[in-house]
Structure 1
Amino acid sequence: MGKVIATVHLLTDEGKVAEGHTLSLEAYQLKNRRWQAVARSKTDAEGKATLTTNNSAVSDTMAPALRLTEAGSPAPRVLAHGGLMQYDTRQQTLFLDFGKIERLEETAHRLQHVDSRFARTNESVAGAPVAPQISTLAVNRLVMANPTLTANLTRVDVASERARPTAEVPGVKLDPAVTATLLNTKELDTLKAREVQLNAQLLDKSREFTLTAEQLSTAKSRISTLETNLSQTATEKEALAAKVKQLESTTRKPAAIETVLVGLGSKVSSSNTRMKAEALPYRLGNVKIDLRGSMSDDGSSIVMGEAGGGFSTELISESADTGETRTSVPDVIGLTESAARRVLRSVGLRMASAHQQLAEGAGVPGQALSQHPAPSSEAEYGSSVMVVFGERKQEAAPK
Structure 2
Amino acid sequence: MARDPTIAYVLLRNAHFGPRLASAVELCVRDLVRHSRYAASTLVVCPNVDRPFDGIRIETVPDAPLGGNLAKAWGVGRLLRRLRVDLAVVENHLPVAALIASASGAPTILHSHAYEKAPSGALKRTARDFELRRIAGLAFVSEDCANRFRSNFPNAQAPMRAVPNGLDMTEWSDSVPKETTILSVGRGLDDKGHIEAMAAIARLLPLRPQWNARFILSAIDREPGIVRELRNAAAQFGDRIRIDTNLPYGEVKAAWEKAAAGMVLTKTPEPFGRTALEALASGTALMASGLGGLAEVCGPDALIVDPADPDGVARGLASLIDAPGLRAKLARSGRARVERLFDIRAVAKRMDDFVDEVLARRG
TM-score, length-scaled by structure 1: 0.22
Greater relative CO, 1 or 2 (CA 8 Å, sep 6+): 2
Pick the structure with more strand per residue: 1
TM-score, length-scaled by structure 2: 0.23
